[in-house]
Amino acid sequence: QSVLTQPPSVSGAPGQRVTISCTGGSSNIGAGYDVHWYQQLPGSAPKLLIYDYSGRPSGVPDRFSGSRSGTSASLAITWLQAEDEADYYCQSYDSSLREVFGGGTKLTVL
């Protein structure tokens, strides 16, 4: 059971918009710690996708965006493309557990 909760899977057709949620608690997101998102393409290492809820590292398309609401964070992907099919992980800091990851969400592009 992960400290940060993500849906196991989401799906969408090319061109559509999907969102992935990441729900935490008072010792992590609710305590004000930032949330970051990673994309893991099949057979590859994770890659930093979004930092500090909504920042994008150089080279990440603006189709990817992040937001926060209370003790949750969300990743949105617009104009879905086949190459977006991957696993997505949220990550934050927990005052008792240190660095923590969500359980991961598998995105399927239909």
Partner 1 sequence: QLQLQESGPGLVKPSETLSLTCTVSGGSISRSDYYWGWIRQPPGRGLEWIGSIYYSGTTYYNPSLKSRVTISVDTSKNQFSLKLTSVTAADTAVYYCARHLRTGGRYLFDYWGQGTLVTVSA
Maximal C-alpha separation, the chain: 41
Query: At 78, is the secondary structure helix, strand, or coil?
Result: coil
Site membership for partner 1, residue 46 (CB under 8 A): yes
Interface pick for partner 1 out of 14, 52, 81, 110 (rule CB under 8 A): 52
| Interaction residues for partner 1, span 59-98 (CB under 8 A) | 89, 91-93, 96-98
Could you say whether residue 33 binds partner 1 (CB under 8 A)? yes
Lookup: tokens for 8: 């196991």
Distance CA 32, CA 64 (A): 22
Under the rule (CB under 8 A), what is the footprint of partner 1? Answer: 2, 32-34, 36, 38, 44-48, 51-52, 57, 89, 91-93, 96-104
